[in-house]
Amino acid sequence: MYIIALDIGGTNIRAAIADDSGKLLEVVKEKTLRHDKEIFITQVKGIITQLDLSKYDPIAISIGVPGRVRQNGYIDELPNIGINNIDLVGALTKTFKLPVSVRNDAEMAAFAEAALGVGKNLNSTYFVTISTGIGGCLIVDRVIKNPSPEIGHTLVPYRGKFYELEKIASGDGVINLAALNKIYYSNAQAFFKDVTYNVPYALKIFNEWLDLITDFFTFVHEAFTPDVIAVTGGVLKSKKLFWDKLLERVPNAKIEIAHFSEDAGLVGAASYGFKLFAAK
């Protein structure tokens, strides 16, 4: 039995054919096209057709997206892609004649980690992704709990003003954080490179960023008391600079790097899709 799984992010779209054990048999990847709803929908259809659908005869399409999604799968907004009011379920059902599920991408990745990853043998898992944006989701007894559909948009104080957490603490956000201090970088890689070389102004911003991240993980631990916090995302490419510091700062929480890394969204979408559609 096979399913089409998609992990749609602000940076990349990944699509896969997966079997009911969570194994990814084919994976294709493209840069996400932003700021145009019709182009976005066309891209999603196109990346699905790159998979060998005739060979696997999938039972459904299961998708994780970086935004606010209603219970029926209608997407209200994809902030990091710059589009809103997207009936992706309707568009894909019409084209591929398959049932379609759309959920928040952090929920899908969280489901992967809870069902098959670092939370496999535990009661509760809180999943965090820090990449283009910040997302999170709590899973209890393999049931998706959604206390904050887009926790990255939580308002946090910084120097007398309030900002969305991901706008100043995600992979892209750290660039904004630097800019608020009149220090300018083209990307996070350049920033973390300066941190590696102990550039004083970069270290100053880095310590403020680490404070924001510490406060976030402390909040997650105290608010949801998960058995484990599973972490993934592009910012982990620089984990040697901050990971040990983060663990020291939040000593009572069990924080681990997610088992599936970049595949968490795809594996979760597949696993959730089978849970939803395999018995139908």
- Residue written as tokens 């182009």? 39
Count other C-beta atoms under 10 Å from residue 223's C-beta: 12
pLDDT at 150: 72
| Those residues with Cβ within 8 angstroms of residue 212's Cβ, 6 or more apart along the chain or in another chain | 156, 158, 165, 168, 169, 177
CATH 3.30.420.40 positions along the chain are: 2-109+263-277, 121-258
pLDDT at 131 over 90: no
* CATH code linked to domain 121-258: 3.30.420.40
| Those residues with Cβ within 8 angstroms of residue 147's Cβ, 6 or more apart along the chain or in another chain | 138, 223, 224
pLDDT at 139: 94
Beta 255-257 vs 228-232: how paired, if at all?
Answer: parallel
pLDDT at 92: 98
Segment 58-84 shows an average pLDDT of: 94
- For the four alpha carbons of 183, 136, 31 and 155, in that order, the dihedral sign comes to negative
> Per-residue pLDDT tens for 13-64?
999 999 998 899 999 999 999 999 999 999 999 999 999 999 999 999 999 9
* Mean pLDDT, the chain, whole residue set: 94
Instruction: State how far the alpha carbon of 42 is from the alpha carbons of 36, 60, 73, 172, 274, in Å.
Output: 10, 19, 18, 26, 25
> Per-residue pLDDT tens for 25-36?
999 999 999 999
Segment 70-98 shows an average pLDDT of: 96
pLDDT at 280: 64
User: What pTM did the predictor assign?
Assistant: 0.79
Question: In whole angstroms, how large is the CA radius of gyration of the chain?
Answer: 19
> Per-residue pLDDT tens for 206-241?
999 999 999 999 999 999 999 999 998 889 999 999
pLDDT at 245 over 70: yes
> Do residues 127 and 114 touch, judged by C-beta distance below 8 A?
yes
- CATH 3.20.20.100 for domain 2-109+263-277, yes or no, is no
> Do residues 117 and 259 touch, judged by C-beta distance below 8 A?
yes
pLDDT at 49: 98
Eight-state DSSP code of residue 183: -
pLDDT at 147: 54
pLDDT at 185 over 70: yes
Instruction: Give dist(CA 163, CA 194) in Å, integer.
Output: 24
Beta 161-164 vs 155-158: how paired, if at all?
Answer: antiparallel
Distance of CA 174 to the CA centre of its chain: 17
